[in-house]
Amino acid sequence: MLQVLACGAVVFPGLFFAFRRVLPCVFKHWSDADVVLVSELVSSIHAAMATTAGAIVVSSCCGSVINDHWLATYFVIWYGVPYMTYDIFAMYLSHYYRYHVKGHEDYKQHSLRTINSFVRREFLLVLHHIALLTILLPVTLFFRKDQGDFFIGCLFVTELSTPFVSLGKILIQLGLQDCWLHKVNGGMVLFTFFMCRIALFPFMYWMYGRHYGIPLYSVPFHLPLSANLGNACILAPQVYWFVLLCRKGYRLYQRSRSPASSPVVAAVTDSSKDD
């Protein structure tokens, strides 16, 4: 019973709705869009859990990357899948209220039109979540034969950048986008995103090669085509989002150096979302 109550299907939606009730009492001037956006702090809680689970699995399996660890499968079933499902819902609410408070005609109430608009505007993110649900779950449960938990743990660690993204959103909501903390946080977003979502993939290939005693450049030829394609499909959107982050960071830097520019209202973390 405690296990069921603690699983992600209860924890993440419960935290989301708790934030939605508490935050308007603390910040009375916030709109529904502000409240829903910051309610996505649930992402940071999931990220902390995923990163911790990933660190445990990686440290336990680093001696032999083929070994299995119970936590890898357990976390995917009880927390990973429920969170990805919940997060699609949370992203839709954030999208809906963002346009609802602006008075858009189509956003007076929820409808198939608002859902369709959300899917079209956030297509890559929605596709990313659905791919994790339909590909990562079957691979984790059925096709890897309880091997390679080290690499599943590495994928958990990709969530390390998410708390910094959430912190950036909080600072913007509090009107602190010009403070030094926001600039430092932007740098941490770029650093953690690159290290844990891009550089991580060459590292996994290197660890695989070390385990089998083959050089890094030979690893792709040693793996089945499906594994290489899967990694490429996961890596491609990460590279795309990182380029967007770098462009936004560069614009922020340029504005901060221009004495004639208006106060900076953009942020490195403004338009990015980690899963």
pLDDT(269) > 70: no
Task: Answer yes or no: are the C-beta atoms of 101 and 31 closer than 8 Å.
Answer: yes
Q: Residue 265: pLDDT band by 50, 70, 90 thresholds?
A: very low
Q: Residue 217: pLDDT band by 50, 70, 90 thresholds?
A: very high
Q: CA-CA distance, 67 to 89, in Å (whole number)?
A: 35
CA dihedral defined by 71, 76, 79, 82, rounded to 10 degrees?
-170
Other Cβ atoms less than 10 A from the Cβ of 251: the count is 13
Q: Residue 194: pLDDT band by 50, 70, 90 thresholds?
A: very high
Q: Tell me, what's the pLDDT at 62? A: 84
For residue 120, count CB atoms less than 10 angstroms from its CB and return exposed for 0-12, middle for 13-18, buried for 19 or more. exposed
pLDDT(115) > 90: yes
Closest residue by Cα to residue 37 from 209, 211, 171: 171
- Report yes or no on 125 lying in a domain: yes
Percent of the chain at pLDDT exceeding 90: 40
HEC readout, 8-51: HHHHHHHHHHHHHHHHHHHCCCCCHHHHHHHHCCHHHHHHHHHH
Closest residue by Cα to residue 164 from 47, 85, 7, 255: 47
Give how many domains the chain has, as a whole number. Answer: 1
Integer angstrom CA distances of residue 49 from 130, 140, 228, 258:
21, 18, 27, 41
- Report yes or no on 80 lying in a domain: yes
Question: What average pLDDT does this structure show over 108-121?
Answer: 91
- Report yes or no on 269 lying in a domain: no
pLDDT(274) > 80: no
The pLDDT tens digits for 226-247 are 889 989 988 999 999 999 999 9
- Report yes or no on 34 lying in a domain: yes
Residue identified by tokens 């900076």 is 264
The pLDDT tens digits for 28-51 are 888 887 887 777 789 999 999 999
**Domain that includes residue 51, residue range:** 7-257
- Report yes or no on 262 lying in a domain: no
- Report yes or no on 191 lying in a domain: yes
Q: Tell me, what's the pLDDT at 259? A: 58
Q: Tell me, what's the pLDDT at 47? A: 94
Task: Answer yes or no: are the C-beta atoms of 264 and 249 closer than 8 Å.
Answer: no
- Report yes or no on 227 lying in a domain: yes
Greater confidence (156 vs 264) lies with 156
Q: Which residues contact 129 (CB under 8 A, 6 or more apart)?
A: 84, 87, 88, 275
Q: Tell me, what's the pLDDT at 6? A: 63
Question: For the whole model, what pTM was predicted?
Answer: 0.85
- Report yes or no on 265 lying in a domain: no
